[in-house]
Structure 1
């Protein structure tokens, strides 16, 4: 039985004017945390995280896993969407992760991720932690650690990377900007926000991070939760907040939610 992780962080998006600040720190932080739990970790940062490289790395991770193995994939970067061409999305859009070279090859879509996850061997557990995307409402939450003048949304508008002649007509665009990764598959998805929200890129105590990543790791250390459901509830004591209007989500079976964190 082995434990392997892939941690992806992209701040640099050439040609888009949509660079971020905290994603590489997120990836390094997740890698350190997972390493402390006995995971063999591979990192992909900025220019390493091309569409082809991300696809190959995720595919290789899953292909090499056998019954009893646990895989964790973390992604910090922009999220985006494209019009759904297969008719399998109720909101009319396919959601995706934005690789470093999105301007030339487009996003890694949820349908593609789902296909890769479906190729896993029986008995292989997969956890996806996504700190990307999405726009929402203001509620509660503690903001003690948040630096002044922050945050910034981790959403890549179509106009930033899609050729003008390929942009969908405004009348056919969905009312919300981007969705989540519900179709990604795996046992558990922990994501930074609702389908209709953004995840925020910000800084805490002078250090850039994603809000979801920061509070996920903060609560993991403070609360030492027994399982993923308890961890998720602890994160929700911080998010959403007035300046960080994002509702973290947990998707997975009742059994998977009771898995011991990073076991």
Structure 2
């Protein structure tokens, strides 16, 4: 007869009295889920209570407003704006999460309580909901208590672990795997408005499980709905009750890592080109040609044609591009190479923060269906979650033949690859200077803070507070403080791809007529010099530098009298290597 499955439940913020209705709801959901897998299995469900610890850390109205400002200032504005139900609960959760993140003493109290309960209960499974999931993660990764994860399943649900503020302030921009856990399942619901986020970690004992459900009010955050979700039943409950993960893990140790057995190619590329925008005045001529030119270049460099995906014109919608970027970065392993290339319009999007105030300016790519809303904008708020946890030795490059300098100024030359915003969008980033009797740019709060979080030598920020590829949402600490915390945590901070831009901030990206054929001036010059350098170096990439490629490309653009200078950003070690 199988032993009883011991489950330890760790609750989040709010009133969670022992024996209360919340426990009955959790237990009903757990029993309902387990009956679908093994109706005969005995369950021993225990709890870790810490409302008394929360009570020692009061959160006032001022604390909650400041907490919301800090959570939302890092780019995560959508969750709170779409929140439904009791906003006071959201504010209290925000205040408590921020206080927990910023207080080592608070974290130690909750960590000690959980260690005590784990030693007493000896659970097979630990379920952490909301702030309870942060307490579990902190316990399972802290040097003094990480052994408590050994051999146990950990399930995070309704969790703020991946929230950019939490990740930035508490983990200096990068989450670590829970190495000693038997397995970690992260249940994610995109409709949960309580500051939750996706988590992606390259570890054989980690999996995110999409458990999406949309219920009016605050029920999208309810632990019981996560626990009884069909995807939860078919993944972690099935594995736990059948001990499947243990069997798989043993097989992997005897054979090879699961990533090595999944047939994802070592090289992949996604190439995007948009000429035929719906508005005739916005149409371009060289973007599709650019895509074919880049595809030829990559195939010359060893990319298989089947591992290069292309999306053009009306198929390059916001959702279409997002879906293909997920394909591009799916199953990435150490040493893999990935290239994201875009040829089309770029733009700047003034973005609302707390209190519906515009406090930041985001770079955005302009998909076919772009309408100047966040839903159709392709900014780093969306992209960073896909790359920020990549292994450091992955070679991910983003090449952008567009510009974001349409900005807040009107006008500009024809065949310029950047959109000027409509006047109502322009107005968001302007203010009236009565003394000058002129409209002038506003100073945006987030941009000023982000200047302190990056190395301007390798990551020039300019006036932007949201640059593609910079992972700025998780760069919340001043650079010196972040470096100290990263050293203590044993990592190098968020992964950053190599970024190659068609022009500097404040410049425009132009199109070039090659006889009767049109290209982006940057793309044509880049590929031409790429081939020239490889011929000159006899194909020996050890002698070539991407910084030289960008330098020669810029030189050729100037010689052709294009007023644009290619730009480069990325980790310092990456700038001195080849593509």
* 1:120 matched residue in structure 2: 390
Q: Tell me, yes or no, if the aligned pair for 2:405 and 2:508 is still in contact at 8 Å.
A: yes
Q: Return the alpha-carbon distance in structure 2 between the equivalents of residues 20 and 96 of structure 1.
A: 17
Equivalent of 1:218 in 528, 548, 552: 528
Q: Return the alpha-carbon distance in structure 2 between the equivalents of residues 243 and 180 of structure 1.
A: 31
- Structure 2 unaligned residues grouped into runs of 5+: 1-264, 407-412, 432-439, 443-462, 471-495, 538-543
Q: Return the alpha-carbon distance in structure 2 between the equivalents of residues 42 and 16 of structure 1.
A: 27
* 1:49 matched residue in structure 2: 316
Q: Return the alpha-carbon distance in structure 2 between the equivalents of residues 239 and 179 of structure 1.
A: 25
Which stretch of structure 1 is more off in the superposition, 103-112 or 77-86? 103-112
Q: Return the alpha-carbon distance in structure 2 between the equivalents of residues 5 and 180 of structure 1.
A: 27
Q: Return the alpha-carbon distance in structure 1 between the equivalents of residues 392 and 384 of structure 2.
A: 15
Which stretch of structure 1 is more off in the superposition, 207-216 or 108-117? 108-117
Q: Return the alpha-carbon distance in structure 1 between the equivalents of residues 392 and 405 of structure 2.
A: 37
1:153 is displaced (CA, Å) by 0.7
* 1:147 matched residue in structure 2: none
Q: Return the alpha-carbon distance in structure 1 between the equivalents of residues 512 and 328 of structure 2.
A: 30
1:217 is displaced (CA, Å) by 0.7
Change (3 A) 1:235 1:180: farther
The answer as to 2:549 corresponding to 1:244 is no
Higher relative contact order (CA 8 A, sep 6+): 1
Q: Tell me, yes or no, if the aligned pair for 2:362 and 2:467 is still in contact at 8 Å.
A: no
The answer as to 2:550 corresponding to 1:232 is yes
Change (3 A) 1:86 1:242: farther
Larger C-alpha radius of gyration, 1 or 2?
Answer: 2
Q: Tell me, yes or no, if the aligned pair for 1:93 and 1:174 is still in contact at 8 Å.
A: no
Q: Return the alpha-carbon distance in structure 1 between the equivalents of residues 327 and 351 of structure 2.
A: 27
**Secondary structure of the residue that 2:430 maps to in structure 1?**
helix
Q: CA RMSD in A?
A: 2.8
Q: Tell me, yes or no, if the aligned pair for 1:179 and 1:196 is still in contact at 8 Å.
A: no
Q: Tell me, yes or no, if the aligned pair for 1:223 and 1:234 is still in contact at 8 Å.
A: no
- Structure 1 unaligned residues grouped into runs of 5+: 137-149
* 1:168 matched residue in structure 2: 427
* 1:83 matched residue in structure 2: 350
TM-score, structure 1 normalization: 0.80
Q: Return the alpha-carbon distance in structure 1 between the equivalents of residues 414 and 324 of structure 2.
A: 30
Change (3 A) 1:253 1:71: same
1:60 is displaced (CA, Å) by 2.3
Q: Tell me, yes or no, if the aligned pair for 2:360 and 2:464 is still in contact at 8 Å.
A: no
1:86 is displaced (CA, Å) by 4.5
Q: Tell me, yes or no, if the aligned pair for 1:179 and 1:195 is still in contact at 8 Å.
A: no
Q: Return the alpha-carbon distance in structure 2 between the equivalents of residues 219 and 180 of structure 1.
A: 32
* 1:59 matched residue in structure 2: 326
Equivalent of 1:18 in 264, 282, 299: 282
**Secondary structure of the residue that 2:275 maps to in structure 1?**
coil
**Secondary structure of the residue that 1:61 maps to in structure 2?**
helix
1:252 is displaced (CA, Å) by 1.4
**Secondary structure of the residue that 1:99 maps to in structure 2?**
coil
Change (3 A) 1:99 1:135: closer
The answer as to 2:464 corresponding to 1:154 is no
The answer as to 2:364 corresponding to 1:93 is no
Change (3 A) 1:205 1:50: same
**Deviation string for 1:49-79 (max 9, x for gaps)?**
1100111111221122111111011000000
**Deviation string for 1:22-73 (max 9, x for gaps)?**
0011111111111221222111111121100111111221122111111011
Which structure: greater strand fraction? 1
* 2:336 matched residue in structure 1: 69
The answer as to 2:459 corresponding to 1:191 is no
Change (3 A) 1:51 1:119: farther
Change (3 A) 1:227 1:169: closer
- How many residue pairs end up in the alignment? 239
Q: Tell me, yes or no, if the aligned pair for 1:133 and 1:180 is still in contact at 8 Å.
A: no
* 1:133 matched residue in structure 2: 403
Q: Return the alpha-carbon distance in structure 2 between the equivalents of residues 181 and 166 of structure 1.
A: 17
Q: Return the alpha-carbon distance in structure 1 between the equivalents of residues 466 and 555 of structure 2.
A: 23
* 2:370 matched residue in structure 1: 102
**Secondary structure of the residue that 2:364 maps to in structure 1?**
strand
The answer as to 2:294 corresponding to 1:30 is yes
Change (3 A) 1:179 1:216: farther
1:157 is displaced (CA, Å) by 1.7
* 1:142 matched residue in structure 2: none
Q: Tell me, yes or no, if the aligned pair for 1:8 and 1:27 is still in contact at 8 Å.
A: yes
Change (3 A) 1:253 1:7: same
Q: Return the alpha-carbon distance in structure 2 between the equivalents of residues 174 and 239 of structure 1.
A: 30
